[in-house]
Amino acid sequence: MSDIRAHDLSVVLDSRTVLSGVGMQVRGGDWLAVIGANGAGKSTLLKAVAGVLPYSGEVLIDGTSVRRLRPRERARLLAYAPQAPALPADMTVFDYALLGRTPYIPYLGRESRHDREVTASVLERLDLGPFASRRLGRLSGGERQRVVLARALVQQAPVLLLDEPTTALDLGHQQQVLELVDRLRLADGLTVVTTLHDLSVAGQYADSMMLVSGGRVAASGTPVEVLTGKLIDEHFGARVRIATGPDGRPEVHLERP
């Protein structure tokens, strides 16, 4: 299990400070849900932690600064599924998911049987087996989203960063994806950081939550501590009723003003 910490993360894009002094701490095997209104800086935070955006501050996995790691080393520790990446339209689903094995394939080498088996089994678990030879340009939005997640899972890294993994998915596939991630977390001790717009879903799956607002951390703690009517009103401008769901976890219901 790998813990992940970030200290004083800041990101400037086009001369604008989009993320400022963000700290984050996730214990190995835990699930952190990052929530916040549109434009709050959630995706930027994940991109900085994933190392795909320049940032100041420090990201540490098990105490090692990810800046010190070579890209292959980092990719073995940290898998990132972006919200809506540009996908090569002519590539097949299988070949795209297989890219997740790149950090394990020797330079100038070929993928092994094991690499292909891992890829096939992840595609099966995401109901993508029948799509394996389909070209990416010929998938629906939800199918594309599951393929992006498949590539990240195929990477078999101990830290999984998922940016809005369920937005384009129907209810059944939302549940399937979240349950699969949770099962992998429990079975393999994955550490999960995900942005989620559905606050009730976030409250059901996450061990801890972080509310980002205007590029800063506005609140963090357990779902009960973060999902309060007051914070949601203040940072989302929404009127909600908080109910207590299974295991005492909070459920957020929109109320008509």
* Contact positions vs ligand ATP (CB under 6 A): 13-14, 16, 18, 36, 38-44
C-beta closer to ligand ATP: residue 14 or 255: 14
C-beta closer to ligand ATP: residue 103 or 203: 203
- Specify the residue for token string 């989302």: 236
Smallest distance from the beta carbon of 156 to ligand ATP, in angstroms?
A: 26
Smallest distance from the beta carbon of 212 to ligand ATP, in angstroms?
A: 6
Query: What's 53-85 look like in SS3?
Result: CCCEEEEEECCEEHHHCCHHHHHHHEEEECCCC
C-beta closer to ligand ATP: residue 194 or 208: 194
State how far the Cα of 178 lies from the Cα of 196, in Å rounded to an integer.
11
Smallest distance from the beta carbon of 43 to ligand ATP, in angstroms?
A: 3
C-beta closer to ligand ATP: residue 48 or 75: 48
Smallest distance from the beta carbon of 40 to ligand ATP, in angstroms?
A: 4
Contact 111, 101 (CB under 8 A): yes
Smallest distance from the beta carbon of 164 to ligand ATP, in angstroms?
A: 7
C-beta closer to ligand ATP: residue 41 or 103: 41
